[in-house]
Homo-oligomer: A and B are copies of this chain.
Amino acid sequence: MSGKIFVVGFGPGADEHLTPAAREAMEQCDTCIGYKTYIDLVRPLLAGKKIISTGMTEEIDRGRKAYQLAKEGKNVAVISSGDSGVYGMAGLVYEVLEEAGWDPHNPDVEVNIIPGITAACSVGAILGAPMNHDFCSISLSTLLTPWESIEKRLEAAASADFVTALYNPKSAKRDWQIVKTQEIFLKHRDPKTPVGVVKSGWREGEIVVRTTLDQMADQEIGMLTTIIIGNSQTYYFKDVMVTPRGYRKKYDLVNKGGDLERLKEKEVA
């Protein structure tokens, strides 16, 4: 019997936001492979499992090892936080499998991608409703992407008025990209544009900072931080960050539809 690979996104890391599919993949696997920080976040779910916990730059080894174990008949969960396909392990696992000769049409091991709630969405829910119009997701990590490409995307996102979620905004060794990002956005957007800076959202150690674009780069920011920059319409309703979809411009929100009594509740059996 050949094994299976599950590429799992476990969402923000709180049990309440972990899907049954992701939980089951982690509970049913023989071996769970992941970056140390992620393994630690879900350790209570991994009782009795074999664990391979690797460093940050060992993603390729994680993929190779998963295939090796699955070929030996093991069920393997390769885990990331958030969604497995958004800066997660899904793409790399397929690339490693391809290089190793795996054939999707005649697979010696089965591969399942299990989606999860990506940070832009989980952090958005903490801040209010900032992602409620067209948005971009951009990683500021230059490890695999040249800065020129990232800068071009930041310019495009800022000039076309996208709400923008920044992943991997800053690390101990990489600190100038967030400053440059702020400069780019300030060319196109009001300095008082709402910006949410959230560390470890929905997890132990959560820190939520509601600030504005002109003060974004001055906040405490690290690899566990997700940043959401509002668009030109985003505002703070007290401390709730809201990006309007456009209803209020078009309709009277208090009286639209008139008497609500016509909306009948129906009991459902």
Contact = CB atoms under 8 A, between A and B. Distances in A.
A121 B131 contact: no
Interface stretch (A88-96, A176-184, A217-225): A88-96
A208 interface: no
Given A156-B160, A238-B104, A247-B60, A16 B21 contact: yes
Identical copies in the complex? 2
B247 A92 contact: yes
A82 to B, nearest CB: 9
A53 interface: yes
A52 B136 CA distance: 33
A175 interface: no
A257 B87 contact: no
B144 A153 contact: no
Contacts of A253: 60, 63-64, 95-96, 99-100
B117 A117 contact: yes
Interface in A68-118: 68, 83-88, 90-96, 98-100, 103-105, 113-118
A167 B186 CA distance: 28
Contacts of A93: 129
Chain A interface residue bracket vs B: 35 or more
A100 B10 CA distance: 37
Interface string A133-165: 111111100001100011011011101111000
Given A92-B245, A117-B117, 19 more contacts: A19-B117, A43-B268, A51-B266, A52-B263, A52-B265, A52-B266, A83-B121, A87-B133, A87-B245, A90-B124, A91-B133, A95-B247, A114-B125, A115-B124, A134-B137, A135-B136, A136-B137, A144-B249, A156-B160
Interface of A: 9, 11, 15-21, 24, 31, 43, 46-54, 58-61, 63-65, 68, 83-88, 90-96, 98-100, 103-105, 113-118, 121-122, 124-126, 128-139, 144-145, 149-150, 152-153, 155-157, 159-162, 237-240, 242-251, 253-254, 256-257, 260, 263-269
8 contacts: A47-B268, A51-B266, A60-B251, A90-B124, A92-B247, A113-B125, A145-B245, A145-B246
